[in-house]
Amino acid sequence: MLRFGMLRISVVIFSLLFIASFASADVYKYVDENGVICYTDAPFGKKTEKVIAQNPQVENAPVVFQSDYNHYIQKAAQKYEIEPELIHAVIKTESNGNHRAVSKKGAKGLMQLMPSTASDMNVGNPFNPEENIEGGTRYLKYLIEKFNGNVTLALAAYNSGPKTVEKYGNIPPISETQQYVKKVYALYNGKKNYGVSEPAPPREQPAVIHKIILEDGTILFTNSTLDKRAKIRS
């Protein structure tokens, strides 16, 4: 009777998840150690089964997270001069807004930072939304500058690593990376290039022109003195 009662509760929960999540997120099913059927919006262990797939027709809808990270996103966007919409799209693609997400390769948090990247970006706790967004945006800015403002290559590098993108000189022929870039762009409709400008070359100093009066009174302008006895005027 206990299991039956809990099963009924889980069915009710599933119904609510179905109504709330059908148009916006995946729904997964698993059975816990008590035999209770549970439903969640994120994978849970190896025996999780996806029962509802995200509706592809709403990919262009505004990005909405279960928690409000907008303040952190706006703060990082302003600091690193990146459109907040791009940060939203990366977070949605990387973790679907789950700040506790961990990938098979060990990437963590909202923007799925690998341990080495988190360390390089001074992120102490990758599961802290503010730290993760700060570090992830900083890394994204680094990649945009590395690839001369090309957002497409920066996104490809965010997924597969900058060395892989440098090797091919374009989006690598890796299915996961290609799909990743497409999904981010499906959510983001902003600039495709940030136009990182090259530093201006140093200006040449104008040559010094000397005015020289020769012994016969002739005035001569030159960039060097002709005779120590000549009268030099600036």
| Active-site residue set | 94
| Secondary structure (DSSP) of the chain | -HHHHHHHHHHHHHHHHHHHHTTT--EEEEE-TTS-EEEESS--STT-EEEE---GGGTTSPP--SS--HHHHHHHHHHHT--HHHHHHHHHHHHTT-TT-B-TT--BTTTTB-HHHHHHTT-S-TTSHHHHHHHHHHHHHHHHHHTTTBHHHHHHHHHH-HHHHHHHTSS-S-HHHHHHHHHHHHH--S-SB--PPPPPPPPPPPPP-EEEE-TTS-EEEESS-S-TTSEEE-
